[in-house]
Amino acid sequence: MRVYNFSAGPATMPLEVLEQAQAELCDWQGSGMSVLEVSHRGKDFIACSAHAEELFRELLGVPDNYKVLFLQGGATGQFAAVPMNLSDPGDTAAYINTGQWSGKAIKAALAQGVETQVVADEEASSYTTVPAPGSFSVDPGARYLHYTPNETIGGVEFNYVPDAGDVPLVADFSSSILSRPIDVASHALIYAGAQKNMGPSGLTVAIVRNDLLGCARPQTPDIFNYQKMATSDSMLNTPPTFGIYLLGLTLEWIKRQGGLEALGARNQAKADALYNAIDASALYHNPVAPEARSRMNVVFTLSDPELTPVFVAGAAEAGLVNLKGHRSVGGIRASIYNALPLEGVEALVAFMKEFEAAH
Ligand code: PMP
């Protein structure tokens, strides 16, 4: 029996994708081998990887002057790779701090000797807000402006693209990539770990504008060097082949759903259903400013915190799992990525109502 899995990541994947992977696991494309067992340099896997890249570019509308890279090391690796590729020690880089993940990105840049300028810091609201459009300015000498479109722990999401002027805009889209259309062209660099909306963990995707290639510090390890990865078609070393294959299957599934417009509308409906239930109740509370509420990670607390573990256990019994909030903040977090269906949200809302009535 499949449960509704609200995990923040690794997260639920489309059942159709899992079943297809299962069906073709032991004999992939008539090769008599699984995709796990073939050479990444063989023509079959190269075609599989090219297919995933092509679909990714098509669905997101990636312009031709951007490279799509399949990397490893997670978004955490990119926290360091960004300053290594885009700046020299002592250079200035601007960051927007909206919570724990942007905080980690800032720390990693500091460790690379970057003078970080935090141009907007939402600490005063306990990271329940994003800066208002136009409320901050970026030094034109900054090497880039980094932001986190969706804070997975705080449940805070930008509903606009920050204006960085002529400074390259860099985004950690780990927890909202492929959840709705985005304007790639207003960004210079986008990166995301795969384990929320793109497949299993182990694969990191980067979209890099061509003019940012070739600027890496000489000490940058080859596997973090965007130019070297681009010129080797992301095959400088052994890539995460199973993750790339599953990305391809997931993208085919997204296409069958109607693409990112359709998914965006569905994700909005899911989020609205959950926030409406929270707002209508006396027991549940979401602390995030309405315009900054995440459509992917819905966080809430119970007015009696002692009820939180009772809620989590009762939900699990009802087949609604992984609702416990991040260990650093407690409460409840329902991650409702692409593959979590509306029926899952409806089941959660029904459980929340029953629970509130009983307590
Ligand atoms: N950024 C965001 C927004 C995330 O949600 C996460 C992981 N949950 C990370 C970065 C870190 O990603 P990884 O574990 O792939 O390094």
Regarding the beta carbon of 112 and ligand 1, being less than 6 Å apart is answered no
Q: Around 173, how many Cα atoms within 13 Å sit in the side-chain half-sphere?
A: 26
The confidence score (pLDDT) of residue 280 equals: 97
Q: Of 214, 221, 239, 253, which is closest to residue 81 (Cα–Cα)?
A: 221
* Three-class DSSP category at 131: coil
Residue-number span of the structural domain to which 63 is assigned: 16-256
Q: Which residue, judged by its Cα, is nearest atom 2 of ligand 1?
A: 174
- Cα of 101 vs centre of ligand 1, distance in Å, is 7
Do 102 and 85 lie in a common domain?
yes
* Interval 2-37: pLDDT, tens: 999 999 999 999 999 999 999 999 999 999 999 999
How far apart, in whole angstroms, are the C-alpha atoms of residue 160 and residue 157?
9
pLDDT > 90? residue 1: no
* Three-class DSSP category at 26: coil
Q: Which of 170, 174, 195 to mutate to test the pocket of ligand 1 (most atoms within 8 A of CB)?
A: 174
Give the mean model confidence (pLDDT) for residues 187-196.
Answer: 98
- Cα of 318 vs centre of ligand 1, distance in Å, is 29
Q: Is 107 a catalytic residue?
A: no
- H or E segment and range at residue 81: helix 74-86
Q: Which atom number of ligand 1 is nearest to the Cα of residue 77?
A: 16
How far apart, in whole angstroms, are the C-alpha atoms of residue 75 and residue 206?
9
Q: Which of 207, 240, 256 is the last residue of a domain?
A: 256
53, 68 Cβ separation under 8 angstroms: yes
- Please check whether residue 3 lies inside any domain of the structure: no
What average pLDDT is seen over the chain? 98
* Interval 276-330: pLDDT, tens: 999 999 999 999 999 999 999 999 999 999 999 999 999 999 999 999 999 888 9
CATH number at residue 85: 3.40.640.10
- Please check whether residue 184 lies inside any domain of the structure: yes
Regarding the beta carbon of 243 and ligand 1, being less than 6 Å apart is answered no
> How many other C-beta atoms can be found within 10 angstroms of the C-beta atom of residue 200?
19
Regarding the beta carbon of 101 and ligand 1, being less than 6 Å apart is answered yes
Do 97 and 243 lie in a common domain?
yes
Q: Which of 200, 231, 256 is the last residue of a domain?
A: 256
Residues in the chain: 359
* Interval 56-107: pLDDT, tens: 999 999 999 999 999 999 999 999 999 999 999 999 999 999 999 999 999 9
**Options 28, 67, 101, 324, the catalytic residue:** 101
The confidence score (pLDDT) of residue 195 equals: 98
Three-class DSSP labels, 200-235? CCCCEEEEEEHHHCCCCCCCCCHHHCHHHHHHCCCC
- Please check whether residue 1 lies inside any domain of the structure: no
pLDDT > 90? residue 221: yes
The confidence score (pLDDT) of residue 134 equals: 93
- Please check whether residue 54 lies inside any domain of the structure: yes
- Please check whether residue 6 lies inside any domain of the structure: no
Do 226 and 331 lie in a common domain?
no
For 218-328, where are the alpha helices, taking DSSP H only? 226-231, 241-256, 259-279, 308-317
Number of domains in the chain: 2
Q: Which residue, judged by its Cα, is nearest atom 15 of ligand 1?
A: 74
**Options 28, 67, 172, 270, the catalytic residue:** 172
171, 187 Cβ separation under 8 angstroms: yes
Q: Which of 70, 71, 76, 328 to mutate to test the pocket of ligand 1 (most atoms within 8 A of CB)?
A: 76
Q: Is 324 a catalytic residue?
A: no
Do 286 and 225 lie in a common domain?
no
* Interval 33-68: pLDDT, tens: 999 999 999 999 999 999 999 999 999 999 999 999
- Cα of 74 vs centre of ligand 1, distance in Å, is 7
**Options 28, 67, 196, 324, the catalytic residue:** 196
Do 250 and 269 lie in a common domain?
no
Do 344 and 272 lie in a common domain?
yes
- Please check whether residue 286 lies inside any domain of the structure: yes
Sequence-distant (6+) residues with CB within 8 A of 45 are 35, 38, 39, 241
Q: For the chain, what percent of residues have pLDDT higher than 90? A: 99
Regarding the beta carbon of 157 and ligand 1, being less than 6 Å apart is answered no
For Cα atoms 123, 133, 112, give the angle at the middle one, nearest 5 degrees.
Answer: 55
Give the mean model confidence (pLDDT) for residues 163-183.
Answer: 98
